Structure 1
Amino acid sequence: MSRRVVTLAHYYTAPEIQKMADKVGDSLELSLFAKQSDAEVIVFAGVRFMAETAKILNPRAEVILPDRGSTCSLVTQTDVNDLKRWREEHSDYVHVSYINSSAEHKALSDWIVTSRNVDDIIAHLYSKGRKVIFSPDRNMGAYLNFQYGYDMPLWSAVCEVHDKFNEEALLTAMQEVEGSVYLIAHPESPLPVLKRANYVGSTSGMLKWIIDFSGDSNSTIFVATEDGILYNMGLARPDLKIAQAPIYAGCQCNQCPYMKLNTIEAVKRAQSGDGIKIDYLTEAQMNAARAPIEKMLAFSQGDRSVW
C-alpha cells in the first residue's frame, strides 16, 4: 500500500519545481501547511531549516529534503555555541529568532518569527515592556531598529543572496529606465537598499503588492529578493514590467544556490523516498524548538496573550 506523499516548495525554487508541488508558499504558509498535513511523507523542496521546521511541527510524518547541500548562509554563519554565550550575556532579554535558522538555534530562542510577522511580534514584546535581542539576520534587525527606533542587539549573520543587493547599482538601473520606477524589497536586504523601497515585506507580501498594484502599467518595478518569486509575479501580473534589483552594475542574476539544488531529478527521488531524511533530531530538541514556533503560530492566529 502506497504512502500519502505531499510535496512542498518554496517560492524561491525554480518554476519547474513549483509545478511539481502540492503547495507553494513562503516560510509561514509552508510551516502551517506542514503542521496541519495528514501526509505520511512530506517532501520539502526548500532548504534544510525549512524541512527541520516541518518535522518539528509534524513529528509523525517522515520529512525528506531532496538535496543534502540545501543549507542557508544564516545557518552556516552562526556558531550555536557562540549564540548560546551571546544569549547568556543578554539573559534579561527576550531572544527573538528568524525562522531561517537551525533547529538547535530555534531551541535557544524565546520566539520564532517570519518576515511576515516579525514587525508585529517585536512591537508586541516592546508593548509588554520587554527588551529584545534579534538573530540571526543582521540586515533584518538593522531595518527594524531603523524603522521603529529600537535598540536591539543583533546577531551578525546575513543571507548571502539578499546581502548582495547594492544601492549604487540600483540607483543606476533606476535612472536607465523610462517612466515611473518602484522598488519592493525583502527585509533581509541591506539597509541602504531598504531605505529606497516603496514596500518592504515578506515574499508573500511582495507578491500581494504586485497583484494589488494599480499604478501605470508602463512603470518598472524592481524586486530585491531571490529571483524565484519573479516567476509567480509574472504569472499574476503579466502586464507589468518586473525586474530583479541589480547586485552590481549591469547584473540582475541573483539566485540562491541552495534553493536551486532542488532539481527535478532530486525532487522525484525524494518523492520515491530517496533523499535526506530529517530523522536526526531528538525528541528533546524538537520539543525545545517547537515551543517558540508555537508561540509565533498562536500569535499569527490572533492570540495576544503570549509573551
Structure 2
Amino acid sequence: MAKVVTLAHYYTHPEIQQMADKVGDSLELSLYAKECGADVIVFAGVRFMAETAKILNPGAKVILPDSGSTCSLVTQTDVVALKKWREEHPDYVHVSYINSSAEHKALSDWICTSRNVDDLIASIYAEGKKVIFSPDRNMGAYLNFQYGYDMPLWSAVCEVHDKFNQAALDEAFAAVSTAKYLIAHPESPLPVLQQADYVGSTSGMLNWIKTFDKEPDATIFVATEDGILYNMHQARPDLNIQQAPIYAGCQCNSCPYMKMNTIAAVERAQRGEGGIEIDYLTPELMDAARLPIERMLDFSKRYYQ
C-alpha cells in the first residue's frame, strides 16, 4: 500500500494543519520531505514548495491541492532576465531564497530559507566571496542593512509582507498604553524590520512567542501572514498577540495562494482525485535545482543539529 504523507505550511488554515502529518516552515518541510520516505506527498502550501519536494524526492508522486497556489516572488521573476543578471555578476555567489521556481533554483549556487539565510550568507562572506541575492528585495535589503553587506539584489517582493508599513505600526503602537513588542518576518519592508524587537523565520517567531517571559500584559504585534497566529495562540493563550496592521484599522493580511488549500481540495488530493501533480520538471532541471538545495540542507544539518 502506498505511503501518503500530507505536509502543511504554517500559513494554511488551521483545519488544514490539523489534517497534516507534518506542519512547519520551508526548512522543516524540505527536510521532512526528503526523509519521510513517502510514495505520495500531498503538499498543502504553494507551488514552489511542492516543486522542492519533488526535486528532493524524484521517485515520489507530489500533488499540489490547487494549481493556482503560486507566489508573487515567483510570478515577479522573469527567469530569462534573472539568467542575464547572474551573468552580469560572474564573480559572485548566487544565493536564492527558497521561495523561487525550479528554473530559478537551477540558476543558483545556494538556496536559503528565512531561518538560515543569515548564517549561510555570513559563512560565504567569511570565505572571502561576494554574494548576489534573489528574489526577495526586502529580505536582501535587511541583510545589507543589518550586516553591512553590499549585495546586488533582485527586485521582487512577497505581496503579503510588503503591505506592512511603518505608519500603520506607529499608529497601532500609539494606541497601546502597556508594553508593546514587534516581531517580523524578513520579507517585510526595511522600515518595519528596523522597528522590530525580533526578526526571523516563521518558526523563529513562533519560538520567540513560546519563550516570551517579559511583561505579561504586553501587546505583541506580528508582521507576517496571519496563519501563524493560530499556532502562536495555541502555544501561548495567555499572551495578547495581534497581527501587525497593514494600514490604519486593518489587521488582516492573508496569503491568497496559501488559502487555496481548502479541506475539500486537500481531501481530493489525498484520495488521488484532484490537484495538480508535479510531473512537468525534467530530470535535467531537477538535477540542476537539487544541487543548491542539497548544499543548503547539508549546511543546516551541520549548523543546527
Structure-2-length-normalised TM-score: 0.98
Deviation track 1:4-34 (CA, whole Å, cap 9, x = no partner) reads: 1100000000001000000000000000000
User: Secondary structure of 2:195's match?
Assistant: coil
What is the RMSD of the two structures over their aligned residues, measured on CA atoms?
0.9
- Map of 1:300 onto structure 2: 300
- Map of 1:282 onto structure 2: 282
Provide the rounded CA distance (Å) in 2 between the counterparts of 1:19 and 1:192: 35
Q: How many residues align structurally?
A: 303
1:49 and 2:37 correspond: no
- Map of 1:92 onto structure 2: 91
Provide the rounded CA distance (Å) in 2 between the counterparts of 1:279 and 1:252: 38
User: Secondary structure of 1:232's match?
Assistant: helix
User: Secondary structure of 1:302's match?
Assistant: helix
User: Secondary structure of 1:44's match?
Assistant: strand
- Map of 1:38 onto structure 2: 37
Deviation track 1:138-165 (CA, whole Å, cap 9, x = no partner) reads: 0000000000000000000000000000
**Which stretches in structure 1 are left out of the alignment for 5+ residues?**
none
Q: Percent identity?
A: 77
**Which stretches in structure 2 are left out of the alignment for 5+ residues?**
none
Structure-1-length-normalised TM-score: 0.98
Following TM superposition, where does structure 1 have runs of at least 4 consecutive aligned residues deviating by more than 2 angstroms? none
Q: State the Cα distance separating 1:113 from its structure 2 match.
A: 0.2
Instruction: State the AA in 2 paired with 1:96.
Output: V
Provide the rounded CA distance (Å) in 1 between the counterparts of 2:292 and 2:243: 34
Q: State the Cα distance separating 1:233 from its structure 2 match.
A: 0.1
User: Secondary structure of 1:3's match?
Assistant: coil
Deviation track 1:249-293 (CA, whole Å, cap 9, x = no partner) reads: 000000000000000000001101121000000110000000000
1:224 and 2:223 correspond: yes
Instruction: State the AA in 2 paired with 1:80.
Output: V
Change (3 A) 1:303 1:235: closer
Provide the rounded CA distance (Å) in 1 between the counterparts of 2:174 and 2:211: 25
Q: State the Cα distance separating 1:303 from its structure 2 match.
A: 6.8
The residue correspondences of 1:55-134 to structure 2 (distance < 5 A) are 55-134=54-133
Provide the rounded CA distance (Å) in 1 between the counterparts of 2:196 and 2:74: 27
User: Secondary structure of 2:291's match?
Assistant: helix
Instruction: State the AA in 2 paired with 1:91.
Output: P
User: Secondary structure of 1:239's match?
Assistant: coil
User: Secondary structure of 1:195's match?
Assistant: helix
- Map of 1:270 onto structure 2: 269
Provide the rounded CA distance (Å) in 2 between the counterparts of 1:37 and 1:91: 37
Instruction: State the AA in 1 paired with 2:291.
Output: A
Provide the rounded CA distance (Å) in 1 between the counterparts of 2:303 and 2:281: 29
- Map of 1:13 onto structure 2: 12
Provide the rounded CA distance (Å) in 2 between the counterparts of 1:169 and 1:134: 29
Provide the rounded CA distance (Å) in 2 between the counterparts of 1:230 and 1:217: 18
Provide the rounded CA distance (Å) in 2 between the counterparts of 1:263 and 1:129: 47
Q: State the Cα distance separating 1:178 from its structure 2 match.
A: 2.2
Instruction: State the AA in 2 paired with 1:186.
Output: H
- Map of 2:260 onto structure 1: 261
Provide the rounded CA distance (Å) in 2 between the counterparts of 1:110 and 1:26: 22
- Map of 1:152 onto structure 2: 151
Instruction: State the AA in 1 paired with 2:131.
Output: V
Deviation track 1:165-190 (CA, whole Å, cap 9, x = no partner) reads: 01000010011012100000000000
Provide the rounded CA distance (Å) in 2 between the counterparts of 1:86 and 1:166: 29
